[in-house]
Structure 1
Amino acid sequence: MSAPETAPARIKPGGFRELGPLNWLIAKLGAKAIRAPRFALFNVLGQHHLLFLAWLPYSGMLLGLGKLPKIESELVILRVGHLRNCEYELQQHRRLARSRGLDPATQARIFEGPDAEGLTDRQRVLITATDEFVITRSMSAETWSALATHLSRKQLIEFCMLASNYDGLAATITTLRIPLDFPD
Structure 2
Amino acid sequence: MSSPARIPPGGLRELGPINWVIAKLGARAIRAPRFSLVNVLGQHKLLFLAWLPYSGILLGLFSKLPVQDAETVILRIGHLRDCEYELQQHRRLAKTRGIGPDLQAKIFEGPDAEGLTDRQRTLITATDEFVVTRGVSAETWAALAGHLTKAQLIEFCMLASQYDGLAATIATLKVPLDFPD
TM-score interval (norm. to shorter): over 0.9
Please give the alpha-carbon distance, in whole angstroms, between the structure 2 residues aligned to 1:64 and 1:41.
19
Question: Is the aligned partner of 1:140 residue 2:133?
Answer: no
CA offset at residue 82 of structure 1?
0.4
Structure-1 residue corresponding to 2:70: 73
User: After the TM superposition, which parts of structure 1 deviate over 6 Å for at least 4 consecutive aligned residues?
Assistant: none
The unaligned stretches of length 5 or more in structure 1 are: none
Question: Is the aligned partner of 1:33 residue 2:29?
Answer: yes
SS in 1 for 2:178: coil
CA RMSD, Structure 1 to Structure 2 (Å)? 0.4
Q: Deviations over 1:3-29 (max 9, x none)?
A: xx2100000000000000000000000
Structure-2 residue corresponding to 1:170: 167
Identity of aligned residues (%): 78
TM-score, normalised relative to structure 1: 0.97
Please give the alpha-carbon distance, in whole angstroms, between the structure 2 residues aligned to 1:139 and 1:33.
34
The unaligned stretches of length 5 or more in structure 2 are: none
The number of equivalent residue pairs is 180
Structure-2 residue corresponding to 1:126: 123
Please give the alpha-carbon distance, in whole angstroms, between the structure 1 residues aligned to 2:20 and 2:176.
17
Aligned pair partner of 2:46 in 50, 59, 69: 50
TM-score, normalised relative to structure 2: 0.99
Please give the alpha-carbon distance, in whole angstroms, between the structure 2 residues aligned to 1:6 and 1:89.
16
CA offset at residue 45 of structure 1?
0.1
Please give the alpha-carbon distance, in whole angstroms, between the structure 2 residues aligned to 1:71 and 1:37.
27
Please give the alpha-carbon distance, in whole angstroms, between the structure 1 residues aligned to 2:19 and 2:134.
32
Q: Deviations over 1:116-140 (max 9, x none)?
A: 0000000000000000001100011
SS in 2 for 1:64: coil
Structure-2 residue corresponding to 1:13: 9
SS in 1 for 2:40: helix
